A and B are shown apart, each in its own frame.
Chain A
């Protein structure tokens, strides 16, 4: 017993082995480690699913694939969901690169959605559609940026904790949206959200969601270029690496923080605009649907690289769609997909350790 206890304490405190930071790792090794993590995660998910539904694992993954890409409608659905999640992930990325923990994306998306919906309701009959859509877009950008700027302002002015501040801002806007959803619902107070008739985004080539996907594709390219090649993008990485260095070389850190959070919020606002005007044509307090939080994981898993984010967001949406198919077929609760997503993210998060560090086991004598 004592021996086991010793083993655990030494495993935890590190006298059994010690950890060395890797200088650099070749890209194929890094991706190999991630691949192993995903495979392990899929095995664990398989075990969990099989123990709950008693079907064989291969059948289970077939059901998942069927649920995600089984019909062309499902494929479009998958792409549209990926696009929205990708848009929110792109939005949080500049802030994260700056080490500003914006976990208020959920609220910033809703702020954009609320602005869009109010334009659709109050200006719907007064403006021609193209002009209306432009007004919707601009107001959603402004609303999202405003919701992002408030915590940024207090961060730069008084050094308030931005993680906690942005988190609280989410729930303020959620309740505001819940208020307006009830106020605008038809019949009033019933809670059924009103379908917004005016200002819906146009259907391109007979595909309802195509315009959403195209807009997000464009944004992905823009954010990639902005972060990688622009002066402002460079300033963001310097501030993220070390605020002191940034100040030393003459970067106005406060300005960078405010500007970046405005961009971050504005992109979230666009995601809200796409959700309300392009996808749902209505506004509910769960319109953002937790994407603000999922996006943080997507962005982080992709190492803040917009191109990799396409794949990570696709992976997450694929898993969610597939897992909800399983729960539908076996009449289990739909939250099953959250469990699967959670397990996979845990494994990928864990795998980062093995990419950044290597473990060197100590010689037996050293352990006594």
Chain B
């Protein structure tokens, strides 16, 4: 049973990990992107739409090309979420709009797109299918690593997930490395801490902001794709993704802006999410109180980090502030 709990915690945590890694990259450039929940919906639905059209264009689902079945939704998802990232960047960086307002509008828009196309895709393309269920594609997304079932508990805990879980972990480690150990990361952090200084040092602030936000959005969008293709077995249900987007933002704070900490944090959040299922005789209403825990824990972390006031655990100094070169 412990193995199942760990497995489910990891699977719950993966969308959060991808979402928070994306958000950390964005926040490091000084942009608090509250559009992440919307971007994750768009990432999910674009992947679903691509895969849905591909699956239904085949006469026989068994003849599906495994490479295309992964490639098409992946590319669609990335395109969709980068496009959302671009909208956000264009408004906040180029047009200097307020970040919070833009982000919230992006979330409304993105969740709208997700639910709208999720609910109306079948009608829009005039297909005669009862619901969006991409079981064939989902099986491919869920293929575990080789030897997963031959190595006992080790295989179950470490090798039994679909490839996006490993992508999520690699991306998080890679982001940590880039942020802390490379020149690019140093420049990016400089932009988030003090854009004026970065600009004076000859760093192209606008370019860094655009790139980090768009790459961040792409990563976050993958979280949505993982949720629907792997976790939800390829079945789209409206609002099924729930508040995971906001949980990702909570995870950013919980992991004090470090993608590597975020890996463990996401598993912990996933654990808090699945634990009520394993408590015997728990009422449905008490389960709701358990779902509150990740947010409470996040608030506590937020309070503690601000109390201890250690420099390396703070949000980027210029987070949420606009940067106008002419107004220095």
Contact = CB atoms under 8 A, between A and B. Distances in A.
A349 B295 CA distance: 30
B284 interface: yes
Contact of B101 (A167, A290, A296, A333): A296
Interface string A318-361: 00000000010001111111110111011001101100110000
Interface string B190-208: 0000000000000010110
Contact of B292 (A175, A343, A349, A356): A175
Interface stretch (A113-121, A152-160, A242-250, A266-274): A152-160
Contacts of B171: none
Interface in B272-314: 283-286, 288-289, 291-292, 295-296, 298-299, 302-303, 306-307, 309
B120 A350 contact: no
A13 B211 CA distance: 13
Interface in B200-259: 204, 206-207, 210, 238, 243, 246, 249-250, 253
B1 interface: no
Interface string A92-107: 0000000001010000
Interface in A59-95: none
Contacts of A300: 98, 101
A161 interface: yes
A52 B207 CA distance: 35
A84 to B, nearest CB: 17
B62 interface: no
Contacts of A179: 285-286, 288-289
Interface string A8-24: 00001110000111000
A338 B112 contact: yes
A182 interface: yes
B110 to A, nearest CB: 8
Contacts of A331: 123
Contact of A168 (B90, B109, B250, B326): B250
Given A52-B124, A164-B302, A338-B111, A158 B307 contact: yes
A332 B108 contact: no
Interface string B101-132: 11011111111111111111001100000000
Interface in A285-342: 290, 293-294, 296-297, 300, 327, 331-339, 341-342
Given A182-B285, A183-B285, A350-B95, A341 B112 contact: yes
Interface string B76-91: 0000000000010011
A333 B118 contact: yes
Contacts of B238: 333, 335
Contact of B32 (A19, A20, A160, A163): A163
B116 A333 contact: yes
Interface residues of A, number: 60
B97 interface: yes
Interface string A156-196: 00111101110111111011101110110000010100000
B286 to A, nearest CB: 7
B100 interface: yes
Select the residue from A294, A331, A346, A350 with max chain B CB neighbours within 10 A. Answer: A346
A20 B326 contact: yes
Contact of B303 (A14, A154, A176, A293): A154
Contacts of B108: 290, 293-294, 338, 341-342, 345
Contact of B204 (A13, A293, A349): A13
Nearest to B249: A167
B140 to A, nearest CB: 28
B115 A353 contact: no
Contacts of B182: none
B10 interface: no
A336 B253 contact: no
Contacts of B120: 52, 332-333
B96 A353 contact: yes
B206 A12 contact: yes
B245 to A, nearest CB: 11
B306 A159 contact: yes
B28 to A, nearest CB: 15
Given A169-B299, A349-B91, A161 B315 contact: yes
Interface string B14-57: 00000000000000000010100000000000000000000000
Interface of A: 12-14, 19-21, 52, 101, 103, 154, 158-161, 163-165, 167-172, 174-176, 178-180, 182-183, 189, 191, 290, 293-294, 296-297, 300, 327, 331-339, 341-343, 345-346, 349-350, 352-353, 356-357
30 contacts: A12-B207, A12-B210, A154-B303, A154-B306, A159-B306, A160-B302, A163-B32, A163-B100, A168-B298, A171-B246, A171-B292, A179-B288, A182-B283, A183-B285, A293-B108, A300-B98, A327-B116, A335-B238, A338-B111, A341-B108, A342-B109, A345-B109, A346-B91, A349-B95, A349-B105, A350-B90, A350-B97, A353-B96, A353-B97, A357-B96
Interface of B: 32, 34, 87, 90-91, 94-98, 100-102, 104-120, 123-124, 204, 206-207, 210, 238, 243, 246, 249-250, 253, 283-286, 288-289, 291-292, 295-296, 298-299, 302-303, 306-307, 309, 315, 319-320, 324-327
Given A161-B319, A342-B106, 12 more contacts: A101-B100, A165-B302, A171-B246, A175-B289, A175-B292, A294-B108, A333-B119, A335-B113, A335-B114, A339-B116, A346-B87, A350-B97
